[in-house]
Amino acid sequence: MTQNLDHKFLGIALAEAEMGLADGGLPIGSVLARNGELVASGHNQRVQQGDPIAHGEMDCLRKAGRQRSYRDTVLYTTLSPCMMCSGTIVQFGIPRVVIGEAETFAGNIDFLRQNGVEVLLMDDEGCKDVMRRFLSSPENRQIWLEDIAED
């Protein structure tokens, strides 16, 4: 059952990533779920909103609004979370994160695990493909380097 939900919600996160790509932004999507139900979904909005912290996970959490607790939620993300998003996951006490891929960006999986977060890496071809398509453009490669704070 959990595996089916993981595929379902990662699929929604991937659809969000595709929306981000179609909007001219970074194709990274995220979903927050509770008890097998969708709480919120979002995608990276850095380019569209000119907001340096509008990563996919942050957009999703903003759309979820205030939650009394996150300790019964699962966060799905198409790409391994950066330190900012990983810190937010730990701060909010999100106990489980399902990651689509960590090939494009290794993120902070070890940090999450060291802080008690259960991490499942799906190694999903769809998540890899959307990033490959995005990064095939030299202009997008520059946007990507800005997103991950590299020159």
Q: How many residues does the chain have?
A: 151
Edge-to-edge order in the sheet of strand 96-101: 37-43, 29-34, 73-79, 96-101, 118-121
- The SS3 assignment for 107 reads coil
Q: Which residues are catalytic?
A: 57
Residue 41 is which amino acid? S
Model pTM?
0.96
Question: Tokens 């996951």 sit at which residue?
Answer: 89
pLDDT of residue 1: 66
pLDDT (tens digit per residue) in 83-126: 999 999 999 999 999 999 999 999 999 999 999 999 999 999 99
pLDDT digits (tens, 9 = 90+) for 12-65: 999 999 999 999 999 999 999 999 999 999 999 999 999 999 999 999 999 999
